Structure 1
Amino acid sequence: MRDLDPAATSVELTRRMCDIQSVSGGERELADAIERALAPFAHLEVLRDGDAIVARTNLGRGSRVVIAGHIDTVPVNENLPTRFEEHDGRDYLWGRGTVDMKAGCAVHLKLAAELVSPAVDVTWIWYDHEEVSAALNGLGRLADRHPELLHGDFAVLGEPTAAEVEGGCNGTLRVILRTRGVRAHSARAWVGRNAIHGLADALRLLAEYEPASVEVDGLVYRESLSAVGIAGGIAGNVVPDAAELAINYRFAPDKSARDAEQHLRELFQGYDLTVDDAAEGARPGLDHPLAERFLAAVNATAKPKYGWTDVARFSALGIPAVNYGPGDPLKAHADDERVAVDEIVSCERGLRTWLSGS
């Protein structure tokens, strides 16, 4: 049984959290350690749902903020235990989970324990199963089972942003285009109809498509439309009678998933199109007074989040949310995953300043 000591530095807490492996589905040991670490603090009400831990203050403040992060990681690939490294004059903590996103979770744990009387009430959430199917997502489960626990006026998700602020997020839609043909021997191809060739117009449209850049609440979100998979073919001497093309559309948060679907149906008219997966985007909500104070406290200018994150779950509940955490997102899931030590310290300082009202 390994324990976490909130009195340790946030850098040391990050190291200890990462060394407790918690690949999706195996979060129990880390969730237990977080729950034990928070149990002694009388200013926190600590609750648990599966391997999601919720700790909240109930001070009767005029506003409540929610600060959340997921504790699971993608599989380890010879990148644990953690170690410290130096690159180009900066100190890094190397290892699985350092970026995505235990550094943020460690900062949250330390501040949850130490901020006995924050200027706003705070709900801290450490949740499971973010790196797998959306149906298993611990934050989604909390939203379904205990929506009152996610209530707040503003939310911060500790996704890696290199200690910058990224507001809202693009939505994502994945569709499948299907074509039908007539199977034939490839030596007599003219008596068949090649279903793979039937995708040619769709591939041309994708190659020529110019994605939009859309301004939403002062941030410019760049969209993208990409083929992400293609399948077809029976054998090396058979003209195929069926083919599929998977397309991913990352759409700006001024659109709903339904709007995005309609756009693709108009673009790919004549094709058999079915929706394979969809997730709404999230507007940044940076005009909220709490958001304005947050940006001032962390001394940041907000940028758009092009990828999808769980801020969309808060947005669906009517809660404006931003991404803010240590770590270069390009190192998330990488075998050389590593977080800059100064970014951990910076995020702790920024959140502490904001929540303290100083």
Structure 2
Amino acid sequence: MPTVEQTIAERVEARSDRIVETLSALVSFPSIVKSNPAEAGPGERDCQLYLQKRLNALGFATDLWDPDGPALYAKYQGRPGANKGRTFEGRPNLGGTLKGSGGGRSIMLTGHIDVVPPGAAEHWTTDPFEPVLKDGFLHGRGTVDMKGGVACMLMAVEILKELDIPLSGDIVFTTVVDEEIGGMGSLAMVDRGFRADAGIMTEPTANRIAPLCHGILWGRIIIDGIGGHAELTPNAWYTSGPVDAVQLCRQMLDGIDILNRRWMFDPKKNHPLMDLPNQVIVTQMNAGEHPSSMAGRAEIIIDAQYLPSERDELGLGGKVKREIEEHVFNICQADPYLRNHPARVEWILDADCAEVPADNPFIAVFQQAVGKANLSPVLSGFGAHSDIGLPTGLGNTPTVNFGPGDPAQAHQPNERVSVRDLVNCTKAIAIAIEYWCR
């Protein structure tokens, strides 16, 4: 007689087409998030309505609501997830609860359905929002980040229901918007009261359990030079204009490289579960006003990481902000112009981080389930930011990352996930629910 785990695994294999069909439906909704929330189209809402219909059919009591961005910001200002200017009209969150028979431990399955813009169409070999199955991979925007994970968590529940496997604990299912622009959707979800005894956030981890993620700082380094004619000889020692802001940018970039070399060997910037040390990554640059004029102003946009051990008293990256500001100041001291006209740092975003200790009871249960799905139970770190800090910290729901797909595919053109990854992920989540909530 097959074991419960074998029965679940066999049913998941038999339902692989349904998993692909579910993910294809999710990808077909262009649920793009923008820095200006007013520019969002109907894709987020349409995707949530599709998921709500699927949850209702499984017996979930569902809640679909447009969060109140300004009210949330007023309530949580200065705390993780509270981002000024975010609005949610027509951009709902979705939550649902499937009650168990009672007395068991509850689990929350959570993810985001917003995706980043696909970028230039010529960089894609397929339409980003018309999913294509080819050579064992499903192609399309969001297949990895992270509608693949959402499809797996939905199908895991659906298969447990098909098999009529009894559960004592509740299953909580939440999908949020706005994750790709700072995490206020997850803040709204936790504020709404959704929580459980443990949680799985199905961000792409190549089906590895990742109980740790980075915090992320976005900052703008502003450098003011003095514009002037590009072909004329500038005055020596910056006694008057022009002063080339592009040249000053080069000095700032060299200084950032020095900081990264220092962090490479700093124990505070490294974690045994992370592949790389914390870094300050330059992601955007903007300089200059005219082809024949020296740039009078330049901006360098940075993405900097921090670890849970570096959090400040609010659970954010204030200590690391001050560290970077001090380094920028010291870079300026080496230049006679910048010494008197120092660059300044404006902070754009601070997205929190979290770590669930390896001795948390859910970790051992999940490792056992992952092993039964013939996956590696070895713990790893999630190098990017994810929203696990909000349910873990504010919601008292220790939440780990675990999802299908190579995380390096996230945000890339021609994003794709293997069907095998989807099937294996669905197995692991379904078995974990049965173990934890039985």
TM-score (norm 2): 0.70
The Cα shift of 1:48 comes to 1.6
Alpha-carbon distance change, 184 to 345 in structure 1, aligned in 2, over 3 angstroms: closer
Question: Post-superposition shift, 1:329?
Answer: 1.8
RMSD: 2.8
Q: Specify the alignment match of 2:326 in structure 1.
A: 266
- The answer for the alignment partner of 1:140 in structure 2 is 187
Aligned pairs for 1:1-358 (under 5 A) are: 9-24=18-33, 25=41, 26-42=43-59, 44-50=60-66, 51-59=92-100, 60-75=102-117, 77=121, 78-86=127-135, 91-115=136-160, 117-118=166-167, 120-131=169-180, 133-134=181-182, 137-144=184-191, 146=192, 148-149=193-194, 151-186=195-230, 187-190=232-235, 191-192=240-241, 194=243, 196=245, 197-208=247-258, 209-210=260-261, 211-212=263-264, 214=268, 219-220=273-274, 222-256=277-311, 257-269=317-329, 270=332, 271-299=343-371, 300-317=377-394, 318-357=396-435
Give ranges in structure 1 of 5+ residues lacking alignment. 1-5
Distance 1:33 1:254 in 2: 39
Does structure 1 conserve the Cα–Cα contact (< 8 Å) formed by 2:137 and 2:417? yes
Closer, same or farther: CA 231–121 of 1 in aligned 2, 3 Å = same
SS in 1 for 2:99: coil
* More displaced stretch, 204-213 vs 289-298: 204-213
1:162 deviates by 1.8
Which whole-Å CA distance do the structure 2 matches of 1:79 and 1:111 have between them?
26
Matched-pair contact (CA < 8 Å) for 1:181–1:242:
yes
- Residue correspondences, number: 343
In 2: Cα distance, 1:114 partner to 1:161 partner: 22
Q: Which amino acid aligns with 2:431?
A: T
CA 95–275 in structure 1, closer or farther in 2 if over 3 Å, else same = closer
Q: Which has the higher helix share?
A: 2
Structure 2 unpaired stretches of 5+? 1-14, 34-40, 67-91, 122-126, 312-316, 333-342, 372-376
Q: Give the letter for the 1:156 counterpart.
A: I
Q: Distance in 2 between matches of 1:291 and 1:153?
A: 12
Distance 2:272 2:29 in 1: 40
| Structure 2 counterpart of 1:207, one-letter code | D
- What residue in structure 2 maps to residue 3 of structure 1? none
CA distance in 1, matches of 2:140, 2:307: 33
Instruction: State the SS of the aligned residue for 1:10.
Output: helix
Deviation at 1:75, TM superposition (A): 4.2
TM-score, normalization: structure 1?
0.84
Q: Report % sequence identity.
A: 23
Q: Mean Cα displacement is larger for which, 213-222 or 27-36?
A: 213-222
CA distance in 2: counterparts of 1:138 and 1:301, whole angstroms: 30
